[in-house]
Structure 1
Amino acid sequence: MNTLDMSKADLITLAQQRLEREVRPGEWSDRQKLALTCRILYDGGHDSGLAGQITCRTGEPGRFYTQQLGYGFDEISAASLIEVDQDLQVVNGQGIPNPANRFHTWIYRQRPDVNCIIHTHPLHVAALSMLETPLQISHMDTCPLFDDCAFLAHWPGVPVGNEEGEIIAGALGAKRAILLAHHGQLVVGATIEEACMLAILIERAARLQLLAMAAGAIQPLPPRLAAEAHDWISTARRDQVTFAYYARRALRSHQDCLI
């Protein structure tokens, strides 16, 4: 095969085919992936005490896994996760969920394509949220969020009521991420791996934006090329493979999370 004569579109297709065919992702249960995600995000600066929630559909209608209230992301294990219904009543497991999980229910009701939701208050996202300015995507690495991050400009208060759930779900719309003014971030994914990657990227994007704003005016990406990068970087298999890398890295320090 002479690839030097191939078009960019054909080379992209070839690379995606090889990735699908030849690179195998890790094999973990959903509970293990959730626990790994908690540890990955803790290591990635998403720690904010007990603030933040991660949920995943269980396969039973109206039910999802989440962490127990009172445990930080660095303490979550597969066994410590609980299963709750849409009213946040515990179906399986010990403990209680964070009452702020209520707005996850509204997103799941609105978005049947979503199977995992991650909401956190990482440092740079929280700092950017205080400026009441949208996330700006102006670097290749963060292009999975290009034209895919909504913005809620007005803080509706602590998200423990149904009103906040309706507001946040409505503001998110069909996008995969949202920056919440004076609050934090929320990302959604069809898979746990997709949501985890987006959570990592949104904190990196916020940090880059703050650094760039301190140095000068951020210049926009060409929309066509940014959209191309969005689709190139953000695929199911690439999410799986990248998640596996972060999982291996986390397991060097957090082997207990798979228990």
Structure 2
Amino acid sequence: MRERTVEQEREHRKIQLATAFRIFARYGFEEGVAGHITARDPEWPDHLWVNPYGVHFARVKVSDLLLLNGEGKVVGGSRRTNKTAFAIHAAIHDARPDVVAVAHAHTLNGRAWASLSRPLDPIIQESCAFWNDHVVFDDYRGLVLDKAEGEAIAQAMGGTRAAILRHHGLLTVGRTVEEAVWWFITMDRAAHMQLMAEAAGTPRIMSTEEATLAHRQFGNANQARHSFNLLADLVREEQPDVVE
């Protein structure tokens, strides 16, 4: 497969990013003006593509996306930005050169689980995508408007793929947009499954060997990419305006 040029890679990331918001809308992950997914620009590593303020996830198009520079200023696009997107996401991108995309939304399952201030347990094979690969960020200070708090989240995450933000929700990262978004969907479902299981009784915890195997099988990048693209193909077939 021929390697993409910088321009082709930028366009690819933007198409996947705009599509990701439509996917989030299908899952009911929207909550007013809250929630963001960012993608690092392939040419300027300190620049991020992000959704504009006040546009519903279900209506985001490629042409709506904003490019923010390292200071959080809009240098591409004509709409307003959400300051919390830069405060959280830019700090994580700065701390993690391996991360291309960061996903965060205020979902019902994610917020419910985040109120418990606990990591997810390995009770379902898909939950093991996060086995020893996520943290609980236990410091709540309201809306994140200061990049210093984003830096604290990044420091707490270390090299992991996800964080549970107490009283706030879930956050995932990936080496591609596809990974970050699929991990977010998987994590939200894992939170839902554990809430249901614990409401019914005491779920059985997988052994270290079982959880390690499941992490390898359900936490790999190829599965994330293929799973994302199944959803992306549906969105782009049914809503072709997303690429406009």
* Separation (CA, whole Å) in 2 of partners of 1:46 and 1:39: 10
> Please, which moves more after superposition, 96-105 or 126-135?
126-135
Aligned equivalent of 2:81: 97
Aligned equivalent of 1:161: 146
State whether residues 50 and 65 of structure 2, in contact with CA within 8 Å, keep that contact through their aligned partners in structure 1. Answer: yes
Residue identity matched to 2:187:
I
Residue identity matched to 1:31:
K
State whether residues 68 and 96 of structure 1, in contact with CA within 8 Å, keep that contact through their aligned partners in structure 2. Answer: yes
Query: What secondary structure is seen at the aligned counterpart in 2 of 1:29?
Result: helix
Aligned equivalent of 2:6: none
State whether residues 91 and 150 of structure 2, in contact with CA within 8 Å, keep that contact through their aligned partners in structure 1. Answer: yes
Deviation for aligned residue 1:248: 2.1
Deviation for aligned residue 1:255: 2.5
Query: What secondary structure is seen at the aligned counterpart in 2 of 1:193?
Result: helix
State whether residues 130 and 219 of structure 2, in contact with CA within 8 Å, keep that contact through their aligned partners in structure 1. Answer: no
* Separation (CA, whole Å) in 2 of partners of 1:178 and 1:38: 20
* Separation (CA, whole Å) in 2 of partners of 1:234 and 1:243: 13
* Separation (CA, whole Å) in 2 of partners of 1:210 and 1:131: 10
* Separation (CA, whole Å) in 2 of partners of 1:74 and 1:246: 14
State whether residues 125 and 218 of structure 2, in contact with CA within 8 Å, keep that contact through their aligned partners in structure 1. Answer: no
Matched, 1:50 2:19: no
- List alignment gaps of at least 5 residues for structure 2: 1-8
State whether residues 157 and 164 of structure 1, in contact with CA within 8 Å, keep that contact through their aligned partners in structure 2. Answer: no
Equivalent residue for 1:184, pick from 163, 169, 174: 169
**Over 3 Å off, 4+ runs:** none
* Separation (CA, whole Å) in 2 of partners of 1:82 and 1:63: 10
Residue identity matched to 1:192:
V
Query: What secondary structure is seen at the aligned counterpart in 1 of 2:92?
Result: helix
Residue identity matched to 1:190:
R
Note the alpha carbon deviations across 1:112-133, whole angstroms, 9 max, x for none.
1101000111111111112223
Deviation for aligned residue 1:251: 3.2
RMSD over equivalenced CA pairs, Å:
1.8
| Aligned ranges 1:1-259 → 2 under 5 Å | 29-59=12-42, 60-101=44-85, 102-259=87-244
* Separation (CA, whole Å) in 1 of partners of 2:210 and 2:116: 28
* Separation (CA, whole Å) in 2 of partners of 1:137 and 1:254: 36
- List alignment gaps of at least 5 residues for structure 1: 1-26
* Separation (CA, whole Å) in 1 of partners of 2:237 and 2:196: 30
Q: 1:134 to 1:100 in 2, by over 3 A?
A: same
User: Identity over the aligned pairs, expressed in percent?
Assistant: 31
Deviation for aligned residue 1:86: 1.9
Aligned equivalent of 2:5: none
